[in-house]
Amino acid sequence: MTKCASVSIIGRPSSGKSTFLNSICERKVSITSPTPQTTRNAIKGIYTDTRGQLIFVDTPGIHLSEANLNKKLQEVSVTAMDDCDEVLYMIDPKREPGPEERLIAGMLSKITCPKVICINKNDIASEDEIQRTRDFLEENFPGCEPLEASSLEDDGLDEVLIALFAQAPEGPLMYGEDDFTDQDLEFRVSEIIREKAMDGMKDELPHSLYVEVADLQYSEEKKEVWVRAFINVEHESQKGIIVGRGGENIRRIRIASFKDLKKIFPGCKLQVDLRVKTSPQWRQNDMLLKKLIK
Ligand SMILES: Nc1nc2c(ncn2[C@@H]2O[C@H](COP(=O)(O)OP(=O)(O)OP(=O)(O)O)[C@@H](O)[C@H]2O)c(=O)[nH]1
Ligand SMILES: [Mg+2]
């Protein structure tokens, strides 16, 4: 009998949850960046081998904040945490465990499903930083046996899979053997463009962006794809930054997006039309947040 489990990946922003998922699925399923709070949705990545299937749900990093967008993001993570067979708790040893980490550990200790704890980024963490993290985990999950890995360098991830499969319930596969995500094409396209638009942006700008695919025409027969997308920012001044001097930055975003989109539409003639738009205070717009964050 095969095993099949849904696994929510939970942790602070930037702990490497999406990087882990991409390494496991061997492709970009969920966008990543050095900016905290990159992931905004519950993103499924499916891993299948002879043991069975693990349906990972990547979640927004849990961050203490009363802002509308953050509260929405937290809701996504809490729902995923409550509604899965197992939890993978991803912790970044480079950051000292503070109130945020304690909040997450507190939430997770109340959850009864099996948990696997992974100390990520062991390629760059010092022994002291790893020990500090182990002490924190022992305090919060007495007797736990955290694993160590580097999601970026794909090191130690097999052990994480072994631990997850060991505690997974038996059951038939929920998805096809070749499936790796359930995201629709428009969403995947918008996320790739968002990743490229976030790249190199500082302060509030990465958080002030959302991407809207206005048109996506895909002809499998003609092997042609046409994308028109709007990069939305909150302020007029941010528009100029995204466009860049002489359109230099928007050109960079287009070229970088193009490269990744080619992987989604291999062998297709691709046309990408990007526009920048101001959408004042979109992060306060509950209707829009409902549509964007799920
Ligand atoms: N050195 C190193 N860097 C890592 C590792 N895992 C992730 N990173 C880096 O950490 C940053 C954040 O990674 P993400 O995967 O986007 O983190 P996340 O937990 O999904 O973050 P949110 O979506 O904001 O919650 C990126 O710059 C990654 O390249 C790792 O194992 N080693
Ligand atoms: Mg993420």
Q: Is 175 a member of any domain?
A: no
Atom of ligand 1 nearest to the CA of 149: 31
Q: Which of 8, 9, 12, 14 most suits a substitution to test ligand 1, by most atoms within 8 Å of the C-beta? A: 14
Q: Is 15 a member of any domain?
A: yes
> Are 14 and 92 a contacting pair, CB within 8 Å?
yes
Q: If you ran DSSP here, which 8-state letter would residue 36 be given? A: S
- Among 26-30, 45-49, 112-116, 217-221, the range scoring the smallest mean pLDDT is 217-221
Atom of ligand 1 nearest to the CA of 35: 24
Q: If you ran DSSP here, which 8-state letter would residue 148 be given? A: E
Angle between helices 185-198 and 248-264 (to 10 degrees): 140
pLDDT category, 4, cuts 50, 70, 90? very high
Ligand 1 mean position, distance from CA 146 (Å): 18
Q: pLDDT tens, 147-167? A: 999 999 999 999 999 999 999
Of all ligands present, the nearest one to the C-alpha of 20 is 1
Nearest residue (by CA) to ligand 1, atom 14, is 16
Q: Is 172 a member of any domain?
A: no
Task: For residue 117, list its beta bridge partners.
Answer: 89
Q: Which of 18, 19, 37 most suits a substitution to test ligand 1, by most atoms within 8 Å of the C-beta? A: 19
> Are 229 and 189 a contacting pair, CB within 8 Å?
yes
Q: Is 260 a member of any domain?
A: yes
Answer yes or no: pTM beyond 0.95: yes
The percent of residues above 90 in pLDDT, for the chain, comes to 98
Helix/strand/coil for 118 = strand
Name the residue with higher pLDDT: 220 or 234: 234
Which residue, 217, 210, 216, 227, is CA-closest to 277?
210
Question: Which pLDDT score, from 0 to 100, does residue 294 have?
Answer: 84
Q: What is the CATH number of the domain that holds 261?
A: 3.30.300.20
Q: Is 246 a member of any domain?
A: yes
292 pLDDT more than 90: yes
**23/70 same-domain check:** yes
**74/137 same-domain check:** yes
Q: Which of 24, 32, 81 most suits a substitution to test ligand 1, by most atoms within 8 Å of the C-beta? A: 32
**74/209 same-domain check:** no
Atom of ligand 1 nearest to the CA of 11: 19
* Rounded average pLDDT over 181-209: 96
**118/229 same-domain check:** no
* Rounded average pLDDT over 180-208: 96
Q: pLDDT tens, 87-109? A: 999 999 999 999 999 999 999 99
Dihedral angle sign, alpha carbons of residues 226, 231, 210, 10: positive
**126/189 same-domain check:** no
**131/238 same-domain check:** no
Q: What share of the chain is helix, strand, coil (3-state, %, to 5)?
A: 40, 25, 35
Ligand 1 binding residues, C-beta < 6 A:
11, 13-19, 32-34, 36-39, 60-61, 120-121, 123-124, 150-152
Q: Which residues are within 8 A (CB) of 171 and not within 5 positions of it... i.e. 6 or more apart?
A: 1, 2, 3, 4, 5, 52
Give the structural domain span for 254.
185-292
Q: Is 267 a member of any domain?
A: yes
CA terminus-to-terminus distance, the chain: 33
Q: Is 103 a member of any domain?
A: yes
Number of domains in the chain: 2
Q: Where would I find the beta strands (DSSP E) of 50-132? A: 52-58, 86-91, 115-119
Nearest residue (by CA) to ligand 1, atom 7, is 16
Question: Which pLDDT score, from 0 to 100, does residue 47 have?
Answer: 98
